[in-house]
Amino acid sequence: MSTAGAPQSSFTARQAMTHVAPDVLLRPLTGSRLHLSQCYRLERGATVLVVANEADLEAWQVCSTCQAELGGHGRQYFDNLERALEAYVPLQARQKVRNLARDVDYDAVWAPNSRSYIALGSDGTAVAYVGKTYWRSGGALTELPGYDSGAGGGPAAAGARQGRECPTCNVLMPVAGGCGTCD
């Protein structure tokens, strides 16, 4: 923390991601809230930040997204893709994800609060997503080993649960029970 009156080094949000510890609060030169360096609300190349001093911590509120992360309810960041793969992706799919990630330009890896997927991000914006059985990048979906597209859930799936025809009146019977017309 800097003392009052001492000059503070300033960083763009992009620089702060590598020059400032991830749990240190920063004050933008323009704006109204304190942020962590990885906050997606900061414009990476345009927002200029300084490390918040004691007066800033008392006078400014913390951005709600950053507050959630400080409280353990926000994004979970990983040092690298390999750590994220170990935490989320089944062993048989990891090599395929590594190969797909080679073609993606990213500078951060995180899981959202739901912990339902991994995101590869560039300048705070996700550019690729990895689920347990899928990879999505540039609008294209790649199935990973173990992918199951499912039966859907629409009318075709409902039809699969219908019973057989009644041999007497040819009405479709329910799955459980007899013919409601003939009985």
For 92-145, strand residue ranges (E) read: 108-111, 118-122, 125-130, 134-137, 140-143
Write down the pLDDT at residue 2: 37
Q: Whole-number mean pLDDT of the chain?
A: 81
User: How is residue 55 written in tokens?
Assistant: 């007066």
Write down the pLDDT at residue 42: 83
More confident residue, 120 or 147: 120
Side-chain-side CA neighbours of 99 within 13 Å: the count stands at 7
Write down the pLDDT at residue 150: 60
Write down the pLDDT at residue 33: 94
Q: Does residue 4 surpass a pLDDT of 50?
A: no
> What ranges in the chain are assigned the alpha helix state H?
13-19, 54-59, 64-70, 81-88, 91-101, 155-159
Q: For the whole model, what pTM was predicted?
A: 0.56
User: How is residue 25 written in tokens?
Assistant: 């609060």
Beta-carbon neighbour count of residue 86 at 10 Å? 11
Please report, rounded to a whole number, the percentage of residues in the chain having pLDDT higher than 90.
32
How does pLDDT run across 87-96, given as a tens digit for each residue?
A: 988 889 999 9
Write down the pLDDT at residue 44: 74
How does pLDDT run across 57-84, given as a tens digit for each residue?
A: 999 999 998 888 888 788 888 989 999 9
